[in-house]
A and B are shown apart, each in its own frame.
Chain A
Amino acid sequence: MFSPSFYQIAPVIAVCASLAAVPLIALSGSRPNLREFWTFLAAGVKFAMVFALAGWVLAGNVVEVELIRVLPELSIALRVDSFGMVFALVSSFLWMVAATYTIGYMRKLNEHAQTRFMVCFALSLCAAIGVAFSANLLTMYIFYEMLSLSTYPLVAHHQDKEGRAGARKYLAFLLGGSVGLVLPAMIVIFAITGTVNFADNINSGIIPADTGSTLVVILFFACLFGFAKNGIMPMHAWLPGAMVAPTPVSALLHAVAVVKVGVFCTIRVMLYVFGIDLMDDLNLGVITAYIVSFTIVTASIIALTKDNLKARLAYSTISQLSYIILGVALLAPAAIEGGIIHIANHAFSKITLFFCAGAIYVATHKKNISEMGGLGRVMPFTFGAFAVASLSMIGVPPVAGFITKWYLLVGALDAGQLGIILVLLASTLLNVAYFAPITYHAFFGKPPAGEVHGGGIKEAPLIMVLPILLAATISVILGFYPDIMMQFVKMVTS
């Protein structure tokens, strides 16, 4: 295909494409079309690079690039492996989709400060790919922080009191977790091992076997809760607050980039720093599994009580993220595969759901589920996609979510954790309970008293509906052809 030297540069380009677009976007603020062109160009370049790398990785290669050696034993370096590729593929692809949608949303609502919005959007994508391609903890930490900071203006976009409160909470949790827990853990790991590079496989980890078990446990939980973007309770509180952001932000960042980065970092550390063997020795897997199980069930129950659509989706996200960590924490190969594949499956389904929420808001200015009775009949595409994505969330075949549930159940059986199986079943029921009524209500319910849906309300603009349909379709495709992603995931566990 390409020469090997190309693959040395490709990760750098993939990370930096959106970074390079930042000044261009900022400078063409007065010409929206040109600005949007830069966004698309960067997205295209980024996806092309990731796609090219995907083939290379699939052929069994791992690309390592050292960018800067900051300390004698410490560098900022990129590494492209199969695990990172899963996330990179998903986020770079969805950026293009989301960019399309965003433009429609922002223009339709005539939002202010669109240039700033697009700049931060690009920055956060750079950070997300950077996290995916990090070769060591330090690089990952840097990109993680960059993501937190660059999404702050997005969350605070409305610049009102509500936005300020949400954004404050957002930054407090994220920075508190990363600076207060992850950073010291990272430095202590560095002090113990002399390196922060990730291990080559998921079994051994980098922590020496003779390290005191108390210290390891402390470090492990510092990382688990420190990457607060993963939404494990009690570090989840930022997520509902951050839903004050415009919907595309919620969609991309809080269904894909931000939360997935949190989960991705957690798994990266669990598998490549601590390693399965060490976690197994200290029984960390089981403990983690029950911690996240609590999150799964509790978040689902809270989701039931929410009437605001975005809030309900937010709690659903919290619950679904914990599936991913649950899978890995079970430490059985099938479960790990199920967990990792859920990164992709959940991303496509959840972004569909958020896009739908945004489309509904743009078309009707409605945020609450109780007001959406009968809307399905005037917005059939939107609600159709919504229904498909909900099925994926619930785990109904043939939509993508089913694959996850299947692997997770198999893994739980392998690991002999019957309690976890019960949790999975319970949460599935809860998923049904909070998703099914929305669709039902929309298609078969009645509009609220005093409102007649007629000519006043119609579908959102095409530029928004298309991404919705695309994302929903891919959810279905991933259900039929899980191998698209599974081939990478299998490489992780093999």
Chain B
Amino acid sequence: MKQLTLIILAACALIMLVAASELPDWADPASPASSHLSPGFIEQAYEATHTPNMVTAVLADYRSYDTMFETVVVFLAALIIMIILRRTPHRRFCKILPQRPQRKGSDTVLKGAAQMIIPVMQIFALYVLGHGHYSPGGGFQGGVIFGASFILLALCYNLRFTLTRFRERLVLLCCAGGALLYAGIGALCLSLGWNFLGYAALAEILGVSEAMARSHGILAVEVGVGITVMAVMVSIYYDLASGGDMYEGL
């Protein structure tokens, strides 16, 4: 059976490898992908959105509908993992949790390092998020770094301690809240008479030009993305690391 799979897959691979000769050359500037839509993005994105980072502009404005669902995918992952793994009803659990004594151990170095690194990480995360308009970065990257700071906390201290700092219930609300912020901005544009996610609608409220309004809109949704991604990272870590019961963990 395995051999058969191997043979079939190898045959398919061979066909596709040979057929690849028809595809445009590596880094060919004249390829359709580089010549059909992409010049439009490159040439108009700045004017329309005041965002020098075209990836951010395309991600959070031209294709912001995709990105909204991308955020939802992240939220969904956390939700599913929680619904599959989580065992104890969390409300009762959160009440007993703070009284539990912290684990004592000889990990002073770890804790000390964490105390130093975590604030820096978090500030850096905010920078990455906020600077996404000008440099590689944005909500996803910033959110991941921010989430990683909590994971670091959990690794260097322990899960229970982290849970007291960032309650599970709050994590879940943040997961949904970020996505809700994103969708809410879209709906706000809708209520201002523009289409869904047409940030230019914010120009009236903010008193800026439409391009600038788009830039602000991008920032706002990036914040939403950042919150969700951060919370989801933490939530997934909580559930996967403890197997869903929150007592044990790395």
A contacts B directly (C-beta below 8 A): no
Interfacial residues, chain B to chain A (CB-CB below 8 A): none
